[in-house]
Structure 1
Amino acid sequence: MLRLKDKVCIITGSASGMGEAEAFAFAKQGAKLIIADQNLELAETVANQIRSLGNEAFAFQVDVTNIIQLEALIDFTIGKFDRIDVLLNNAGIFDKYTNSLETTEYLWDKIFDINVKAIFRLSNLVLPHMIQQKSGAIINVGSIAGLVAKMGGASYTASKHAVLGYTKHLAAEYGQLGIKINAICPGTIKTPMTAKMLETRPTDKIPLDRFGDTSEVADLAVFLASDESKFMSGACIAVDGGFTAV
């Protein structure tokens, strides 16, 4: 049985890395996908690969800091499918462990615009549709930097704490309307972008003694999007090999 059969899902930042893994995991479970990413060429490649598997998928170019483009993304999705079942806010950027005294206001604002404000804007754009449907799931990709203060710089850590607080607010505010809102907090995950950097990074501080795979984040996203998690809302779940447990 397909766990996401015919669910209409928007995944931001889904042309590469964790977002791409999430898109393929969703597709394998029968989801109808909007591959939303700033890089249209890569988004089209992912969408084409998913369509070759027999699933519906459309690429959509979007800058998540641009409200006009975000509105167009929602209009496009409703125009194609007439509903939105899942919003997976995956897009985000890192501050390269920049400490507070070295953080410029430009960097702070850029991190918050992409990591927090985009989630706020997109959530507010999809919530009216989910309220009308009396169902829906919003999944925010946070970080273990939202749980502890040693896995990012000043702006990144603050932004991911904000994501988790906003997730809990949404869950408390809209749960009675049939909408569940949860967050995933990845630890150190191997992606094409981080692979070289992680070659020389030790794993001894991670109880499972390894870095995570994008598929392990994607599997949790599938669970949170599916009906199997229908009594879960407001949860902020670490996928970190036990890092935040010690």
Structure 2
Amino acid sequence: MALTAHSTIGEWMNDATGGPLIRGLFEKTGADPELLTPVLGLPLQQLVAMSQGALPQSVVDDLVRAANGGEIPEDTAPTGWVENITPGRFTGKTVIVTGAASGIGRATASRIAREGGRVIAADISADKLDALKDELPGIVTVAGDLTQQDAIDAVIAAAGDQIDGLANVAGINDDFSPAGETTDAVWDRVLAINLTAPFKLMRAVIPVMEKKGRGAILNVSSEAGLRGNASGNAYTASKHGIIGVTKSAAVMYGPKGIRVNSVAPGGVATGIPMPPHMSEYGSARLAPFQQAIPSVATAEHLAASITFLLSDDAVNINSAVLASDGGWSVQ
């Protein structure tokens, strides 16, 4: 079988031709090929997103040509996990998705739209939202900073009188700093985006859902919401906090037909950049735990978990924190 961009990294590494090509690429960059161990099940194409711009599409194309005598063969069916759309699962529903311009948010918005839902896609990046709308013409986009009340008001106005679901996906990393190093600027920004903005959106949609007598809210937490050794002080606090907000709201509004759940991702190959100045002590302290990640997911993997909990398939699930992490949380 020909190696293509959709062949898994493991298939490339185990191939007599592909293995030396991948190892040679890593030797040129000075990186250790062992870094690929958690992502062996992902397609080679995913390296572009994972590299955060360091590895352009042309490099992947060149690898495919080199493995196939100078030609790029027609892609065969993917050998790994394949996203299976459930037609009509969100038909007649309006769902707000934040962070919708990239990564997990984009994959979630795309899946809901392709499953029949009306999506209100919110993000701070207007340009990336425009690109998403070109791909999915039926969605409604709202560009704005959700730490500001006027942006939240604009999202609610765009949704109108019917809001069936809210996916609070937008979030940022911290600088891996421990409490003794965390600056006010890092703390305030991370908590504002990862915790306060999702809370305010929940507060805004709940009255609309109450009137209808049902609704579903999904807050994206993290492995850092389950433990203390997955990220820095501010990010860990924000993700523990969003789990607390989730559980409290589930208790308060479950009797009113509103389900509130959370997904806690582990390693995800979204290419979201880290802050420019990382804590040396924090990074070194966290490294052994982060190196234990058993597998890295794609944004589409997480969208599958998120849309399940938002959909009526999860009708009897409330206050759940679903670890979508490849088993990292049980190590």
Give the TM-score normalised by structure 2. Answer: 0.68
1:38 aligned onto 2:124? yes
Cα offset, 1:194, TM superposition: 5.8
Residue-pair matches, total: 232
Larger relative strand fraction: 1
Match of 2:326 in 1: 241
Cα offset, 1:204, TM superposition: 6.3
Residue of structure 1 aligned with 2:158, choices 73, 76, 88: 76
**Any unmatched runs of 5+ in structure 1?**
196-200
1:205 aligned onto 2:278? no
Q: How many Å separate the matches in 2 of 1:204 and 1:156?
A: 18
Query: Structure 2 matches for 1:100-119, cutoff 5 A?
Result: 100-119=179-198
Q: How many Å separate the matches in 2 of 1:104 and 1:192?
A: 25
Letter matched to residue 59 of structure 1? T
Residue of structure 1 aligned with 2:303, choices 218, 224, 236: 218
The runs of at least 4 aligned residues of structure 1 exceeding 3 Å deviation read: 201-204
Query: Structure 2 matches for 1:1-246, cutoff 5 A?
Result: 1-51=87-137, 56-78=138-160, 82-193=161-272, 205-206=292-293, 209-246=294-331
- Give secondary structure in 2 for the equivalent of 1:182: strand
- Give secondary structure in 1 for the equivalent of 2:119: strand
Verify the 8 A CA contact 1:44 1:58 in the aligned structure 2.
no
Verify the 8 A CA contact 2:224 2:231 in the aligned structure 1.
yes
Q: How many Å separate the matches in 1 of 2:270 and 2:117?
A: 23
> Which of structures 1 and 2 has the bigger CA Rg?
2
Match of 1:198 in 2: none
- Give secondary structure in 1 for the equivalent of 2:193: helix
Cα offset, 1:26, TM superposition: 1.0
Q: How many Å separate the matches in 1 of 2:226 and 2:271?
A: 25
**Any unmatched runs of 5+ in structure 2?**
1-86, 275-286
Letter matched to residue 222 of structure 2? S
Q: How many Å separate the matches in 1 of 2:154 and 2:300?
A: 29
Letter matched to residue 26 of structure 1? I
Q: How many Å separate the matches in 2 of 1:218 and 1:149?
A: 25
Q: How many Å separate the matches in 2 of 1:87 and 1:102?
A: 34
Cα offset, 1:143, TM superposition: 0.4
Verify the 8 A CA contact 2:140 2:158 in the aligned structure 1.
no
- Give secondary structure in 2 for the equivalent of 1:152: coil
Letter matched to residue 245 of structure 1? V
Q: How many Å separate the matches in 2 of 1:204 and 1:58?
A: 39
Letter matched to residue 323 of structure 2? A
Letter matched to residue 99 of structure 1? P
Cα offset, 1:109, TM superposition: 1.2
Q: How many Å separate the matches in 1 of 2:188 and 2:295?
A: 33
Letter matched to residue 174 of structure 2? D
* Cα RMSD, aligned residues only: 1.7
- Give secondary structure in 2 for the equivalent of 1:30: coil
Verify the 8 A CA contact 1:18 1:217 in the aligned structure 2.
yes
Verify the 8 A CA contact 1:147 1:161 in the aligned structure 2.
yes
Q: How many Å separate the matches in 2 of 1:96 and 1:84?
A: 35
Cα offset, 1:99, TM superposition: 1.3
Q: How many Å separate the matches in 2 of 1:193 and 1:88?
A: 18
